[in-house]
Structures are given as C-alpha cells and as structure tokens.
Chains A and B, each alone.
Chain A
Amino acid sequence: MNELSTSPVQDNSAPFQRLHPLSIILKSLGTLSQNIFAILILHFSLFDQNIVYSMLAALALITLVFGVTTLIWSRFTYQVTTREIRIKSGLLNRNNRSIPFDRIQDVSLEQKLVSRLLGLATVALETGSGGGEDGQLDALSRTDAEQLRDTIRDYKDGLNADRAEADDRPVTADVPPLFAMDNRRIFIAGLFNFSFVLLAILGALAQNLDFLLPDGFFDPRSWIDAFPEQDTIDGFSSWARIGGALAAILSLVVIGFGSGIVRTFVREYGFRLDRVDSGQSGFRRRRGLFTLTDMVMPIHRVQAAIVQTGPVRARFGWYHLKFTSLAGDSGGETDHSAAPCATLAEIDPILDDCAIDQAPADLIFHRVDPAFWWRGAIIASLLLSGIALVTGTFINGGFFAIILLAVPVSLISYLNWRHHQFALTDQQLFVRSGWWRRRLTILPRRKIQTIDVSQSPLDHPLDLATVTIGIAGGSAIAPLNIAAVPWQSAMDLRTRLFSWQNRT
C-alpha cells in the first residue's frame, strides 16, 4: 500500500479496506453470465459442437475473468474517516475519490439474489451530482455494509462524539412502520400497474432464443401451411370470428394485468417504510422480492412531495406518494417512492414527518387560462386535418377519417386543463397536473431554487406565460411548471412565491 504513505490528508488513522473477497466470485459470475452466450455461439459455430474445444475456451474465459476481477479487487480500497469516505480504484488509471458525508443524499444497500446467498450487500452512495451512483462499494458483507450505512446516517456536522452513545442505544425493531404493504395491497398496486412489458419481454426472448424454436418458426409460410385452408376460416360464423377477436383482446388484457402484478410484486414485495431517528432523522425503505434494497434518506433532503394517482385509482382512493430529492431512486426513477399504494389517511402521517402539509380542505385551487386546452386542440386539429387531407387525397379516401382523431385529442386536452390547477398557502405551493397521470406536487416554498416566467411565440398574442420552478431534483425534461397563466398574474405569483425571503 504505497498510496497510504503518500496520501496527503491523514486526518484519521482509519485503515484502507478492501471489499469482501467473495465479491470477486460475485462479480466474476456476473461477467461470465454475460459471456456465456459467446461460448454457446462458439460451441455451435466455430467449434462445430466439439465439446473439448468449447470446454477449453470456457476454462480460458473463466481464468481470464477471475484473474482480471481479482486484480481489480486488489486495487480497490476504501477508507472511512470521521467525515468522509475515500475510494481508490483503477488498474492503470488510478482514481482517488473522496465523498464528504455532508454531501451524501442517500445511502442504499442492495442485495441481488446471488449476493443474498453469499451474505453480501452493495452499498450505493448518492450525492446528486448527476449521472448515477457516485460511490459504489460492490460488495461488502451485510454487517459491514450496515455498519457503514449507520456511520454515514449518524453523522452530523461536528457531532461525532455521540456516535458511541447511538451504538449503545437498543435497536428498536418493534416500532411499527410508517407505512408497509401486505401482499393484498401489493396485488392492488399491481392491478393499477397495467403494462405490456411482459409481452415485450416475451417478444424479445422469442427473437433472441430463436435457436431453441423449431426451424421456420418465423417463416409465415410454415404457419400458413399449418393453418387449415382459408375456406374453413371463411366457413366460421361471424360470431366465431368476433369471439376469436375478443379472446385475443382478452388475452392481451390478461397479459397486461399479469405483467403489472408480477412486476409490482418483484419490486415492492415486503415494502416497509420506517422513520429512523439516530443521528439525522430520515426515512428507511426496504423492499424487493429477489433484489432486496434498503435505502436511507435524511428527511431534510426531501425537496417536494408528489401525490400521484389516476382516474380509476382515485375512485378507489389509492395514491402513490413520492419524494423529490437531489438524488434519483434506484432503477432510473427520478423520485423516491415512499408509498406506492396508500390511502390519503396513510399518506398524511408520512407527510407530517417531513413537515409537509396536505392541501387543506378549504384551499381554493386556481385554474389556468382556458387557452391551455383550446390552443392545443386547435393546433392538433389543424395538424390532423393537414395529415388527413394529404393522405386522403393521395393514398386512400379512408384516411380522411384521421380527422376524427381531433375529437379525443381535444377532449383529453380539455380534461388536462381541468386538472391543471395551482394554489398557494403561506408555506407551500400546490400544483395539480394531468388527467390520466394525476400529480399533485406539494412544494415547500423554502425549497424553491429559481423561478422562470417564460413566453413562447404562441403566448405573445394572448399575453400568457408559463411559470417554471427550479427544484433540486426531479425530472430535468419535465420540470414543475404552471402553464398558460396571464403574464401579469405570473409575475405576481413569482413575487408572492419569493416573498418568504423578506419575512424571514
């Protein structure tokens, strides 16, 4: 360890540690499983199904992968000091990264199926600097990982002395969770998670695994041969044909619901949200069927709350609570899911914990200008009639029917307008948007970073404007905005939103 002696900062004598040795096996298995197809392809093509050559190739691959992984493992060290974690990595290009605990947005432990068998856990640290995980320790033993997590969680600026006390505190496992989902609830959540992903996966599998299928599986001619003569189909009564079509639609619906339920179970199984109070108070979320994740997020990092629902879900009273923070959730989601399927009564206490209030019952929401929908409807109708005219004239008269699409498009933009509302209280800004994906964003005014008032060329004649609010976190593509507000009210709204500064 030459690096240790040349290290410029040694504020702490904590040793540099390596990852758990079993992580070599874990990573090698991961790399090997990606390359198993290469061996299979070689086995069937170049080696002409000669098992000896294939075995030799496999052996060479395994040795190479294990060797390289071990080398990488031996060059990866980390050090946990009292205020930061330092990670040294890289075979040839050495990288020396230090992440101050102060800047860590959330810590999550992840255990894939293999890691669980080996008793390992991956620690992912997010600082919100963009671009995925900023520090990943893949992998530590479960106890080491938990200890590291607790060290970071219990860190308070300049207050490390009481950490020993915190360790002595009895672990209160019997505290009821803030929110948990039983299997029935997960099933309900799955019903609203209707998706065609499974269908897509089946399609992709069929395409990639076509060597398992009989010859000519994708050749339409073999299918036509297999089918009875066209005459027999023509011979069916029209009811039978309608029945066939219905059965096809029904099977799609079943697949859609089924895949939604399966996906939800895999992700949300054993969902449990707790409040942790050692060190900085925060939320701890555990979930997962195969891949267990265990995330801790300090409460003061919560920037905004999003209560999401849909037209059907809202009727049954189910809502999805999410928190926006600078760091994204695992799986590429921009917001942290805090309660995937909950009633408003269940959401209330969670919001209370992060000092965010639900909209009071008597709060008056303001609608935006009706131009929000009729302008969109007019533009869509013009566009559709253009397409209908061109295709109808030059291709087929039937294409004139495209213009009928203008009706549902206008209807949807009207519904979206009805559901785009905002309200302001002393502390918070409420913004509702979307008819199908209904979102209520609750933003504490002290978390506002910047405010834009912008006008597109279409806004000038109507003197409308869009108010866009910059928050730390959330989606960069679709930021929080209030569209189609008269320009003067937009300016007034901004002044009122910033008025907290003058009061405090």
Chain B
Amino acid sequence: MSEHLNQTDPVTPVPGSPTGQYNQGLTPLHPPQKSLIRIGMIIRALILLALALAADIVLQIQLGVQPGMVLIPAALLAVVLVLVLPGRKYRRWGYDMGEEQLRVLRGFLWRTDTIVPFNRIQHIDVAQGPLQRLFGLSTLIVHTAGTHNSIVTLPGLATIDAENMRETIKDHIRQDMI
C-alpha cells in the first residue's frame, strides 16, 4: 500500500476533528469531500427554497394563507441541510483497505458497513465528475458478482489514493469465481 494512504493514522483522530469517533477509527475521506457534499446540499437547498417560495405564493393567492407559512420552515430546513448535515455525513464515511478486503462505512441516519473481499471483485472503476476534478477527488467503484451490492462506491478519495487502491485491488482479482 502506498505511503500516501497511510499518512492519516486511522486510530488516533486528528486533533480538533471528531471524525475518528464516528467512523469507528477507519480512514476518513479526503477533507475536500466535505465541501463537495456541501455544494450538493446547497443545490438541494436552493431547489427546496424555490419550490417552497412557489407554494407560498400559490397558497397566499388562492387561500389567503399568511405569507411565510411554507417558506420559513423550508428555510430552516435548508439551513440544517447546508450547515449541519454535510459535516455529519462526512464524518460517518470511512474506509479501510485490509489485507484481503475493502471495508466501506457510510450513512448518517441509514448506516451501512460493507465488506468486499478483494478476490470477489470483478472489475474496478475510478470515476471523476467535473466538480470532483475541481477538488482533486475521485470515486472508486468496485463491481462484484453479487446481485445485492453489485456496485460498491467509495467517493471522496484523493485521486492518487484512488489510483493506488485500484492497483492494490487489481493484483488480487482472480478469474471466474462464480
């Protein structure tokens, strides 16, 4: 495994960052991923606000409802989405490259902890969207033969880490396990 992967010691969390407690001491995602999650949340919040504004106006005109009955709760929700949720989501993410398996931990309300043995992986993708490129992030996607979990994605890796992980896993892939 590359040095780059091990530079963040997974057991002792970085001072000031509560990450270690929430993801069971696994390797956290690359920090810019938090900003990326936040951007996603801002987009969702804007859509929510636009819809709430429309609903507010319609209700006000049609039924004479007090203005702000929809908009104010929506605005509060939007604030939570943008300020609170990204941090929580980010620190619940974690991964661990073991000797023979990849472990991925994710989710804030719906938590999932997946283990994929390397020799069960059929093929691997390293994907990068335009926003991810801006932050130097990549998504590692591993495909298994399982009907459930046929695709396991691990977003928010530094591109160099993702490529190193791909090389590590590649060496373990065996032919025709099914």
- The winner among B109, B110, B112, B116 for most chain A CB atoms within 10 A is B112
Q: Please, which residues of chain B bring their CB within 8 A of the CB of A469?
A: 148
Interface: A202 (CB within 8 A): no
Bitwise interface map of B from 148 to 163 toward A, beta carbon under 8 Å scored 1, else 0: 1110100000000000
Stretch of B75-83, B124-132, B139-147 on the interface side: B139-147
Bitwise interface map of B from 18 to 48 toward A, beta carbon under 8 Å scored 1, else 0: 0000000000000000000000000000000
Contacting pair A472 B147 (CB below 8 A): yes
Chain B minimum-CB-distance residue to A451:
B115
Contacting pair A468 B148 (CB below 8 A): yes
Interface: B10 (CB within 8 A): no
Report the bound CA distance from A476 to B145 in whole Å. Answer: 12
Say which residue of B149, B150, B178 sits within 8 Å of A452 (CB atoms).
Answer: B149
Report the bound CA distance from A476 to B176 in whole Å. Answer: 21
Report the bound CA distance from A473 to B150 in whole Å. Answer: 10
Chain A minimum-CB-distance residue to B152:
A450
Contacts A454-B110, A457-B109, A472-B178 given; indicate if A498 touches B146 (C-beta within 8 A).
no
Q: Please, which residues of chain A bring their CB within 8 A of the CB of B178?
A: 128, 301, 303, 326, 472
Say which residue of A448, A451, A474, A501 sits within 8 Å of B147 (CB atoms).
Answer: A474
Interface: B4 (CB within 8 A): no
Interface: B101 (CB within 8 A): yes
Interface: A475 (CB within 8 A): yes
Contacts A326-B178, A498-B101, A501-B100 given; indicate if A449 touches B110 (C-beta within 8 A).
no
Bitwise interface map of A from 443 to 472 toward B, beta carbon under 8 Å scored 1, else 0: 000001111111111000000000011111
Interface size on A, residues (CB 8 A): 30
User: What distance in Å separates the Cβ of A499 from its nearest Cβ neighbour in chain B?
Assistant: 11
Q: Please, which residues of chain B bring their CB within 8 A of the CB of A470?
A: 144, 146-150
Chain B minimum-CB-distance residue to A459:
B111
Say which residue of A449, A475, A491 sits within 8 Å of B145 (CB atoms).
Answer: A449
Contacting pair A450 B110 (CB below 8 A): no
Q: Please, which residues of chain B bring their CB within 8 A of the CB of A453?
A: 112-113
Q: Please, which residues of chain A bring their CB within 8 A of the CB of B149?
A: 449-450, 452, 468, 470
Chain B minimum-CB-distance residue to A475:
B147
Contacting pair B110 A473 (CB below 8 A): no
Contacting pair A471 B101 (CB below 8 A): no
Report the bound CA distance from A188 to B178 in whole Å. Answer: 35
Interface: A102 (CB within 8 A): yes
Q: Please, which residues of chain B bring their CB within 8 A of the CB of A456?
A: 109-110
Report the bound CA distance from A468 to B144 in whole Å. Answer: 15
Chain B minimum-CB-distance residue to A450:
B149
Chain A minimum-CB-distance residue to B145:
A472
Contacting pair B113 A450 (CB below 8 A): no
Near A by CB (< 8 A), chain B positions 163-178 give 176, 178
Report the bound CA distance from A102 to B176 in whole Å. Answer: 9
Q: Please, which residues of chain B bring their CB within 8 A of the CB of A473?
A: 147
Interface: B120 (CB within 8 A): yes
Interface: B12 (CB within 8 A): no
Bitwise interface map of B from 99 to 110 toward A, beta carbon under 8 Å scored 1, else 0: 011000001011
Contacting pair B148 A479 (CB below 8 A): yes
- The winner among A449, A468, A480 for most chain B CB atoms within 10 A is A449
Say which residue of A454, A476, A494 sits within 8 Å of B111 (CB atoms).
Answer: A454
Interface: B136 (CB within 8 A): no
User: What distance in Å separates the Cβ of B70 from its nearest Cβ neighbour in chain A?
Assistant: 23
Interface: B114 (CB within 8 A): yes
Report the bound CA distance from A450 to B153 in whole Å. Answer: 13
Q: Please, which residues of chain B bring their CB within 8 A of the CB of A457?
A: 109-110
Contacting pair B114 A455 (CB below 8 A): no
Q: Please, which residues of chain A bring their CB within 8 A of the CB of B152?
A: 450
Report the bound CA distance from A469 to B107 in whole Å. Answer: 18
Report the bound CA distance from A475 to B147 in whole Å. Answer: 7
Contacting pair B113 A454 (CB below 8 A): yes
Bitwise interface map of A from 421 to 451 toward B, beta carbon under 8 Å scored 1, else 0: 0000000000000000000000000001111
User: What distance in Å separates the Cβ of B127 from its nearest Cβ neighbour in chain A?
Assistant: 19
Report the bound CA distance from A479 to B146 in whole Å. Answer: 10
Chain A minimum-CB-distance residue to B142:
A450
Q: Please, which residues of chain B bring their CB within 8 A of the CB of A326?
A: 145, 147, 178
Contacting pair B112 A494 (CB below 8 A): no
Interface: B13 (CB within 8 A): no
Chain B minimum-CB-distance residue to A324:
B147
Contacting pair B117 A479 (CB below 8 A): no
Report the bound CA distance from A344 to B144 in whole Å. Answer: 33
Q: Please, which residues of chain B bring their CB within 8 A of the CB of A449?
A: 116, 120, 144-146, 149
Contacting pair A451 B176 (CB below 8 A): no
Q: Please, which residues of chain B bring their CB within 8 A of the CB of A474?
A: 147-148
Extra contacts, 15 of them, besides A453-B113, A498-B115 (Cβ < 8 A), are A102-B176, A128-B178, A450-B114, A450-B144, A450-B146, A451-B115, A452-B149, A455-B110, A455-B112, A456-B110, A469-B148, A474-B147, A480-B148, A494-B115, A501-B100
14 contacts between A and B (CB under 8 A): A102-B176, A326-B178, A450-B114, A450-B146, A450-B148, A451-B114, A454-B107, A454-B113, A455-B111, A457-B109, A469-B148, A470-B150, A476-B148, A501-B100
Of all A-B residue pairs in the complex, the 4 with the closest CB atoms, nearest first, are: A470-B146, A449-B146, A479-B148, A470-B149
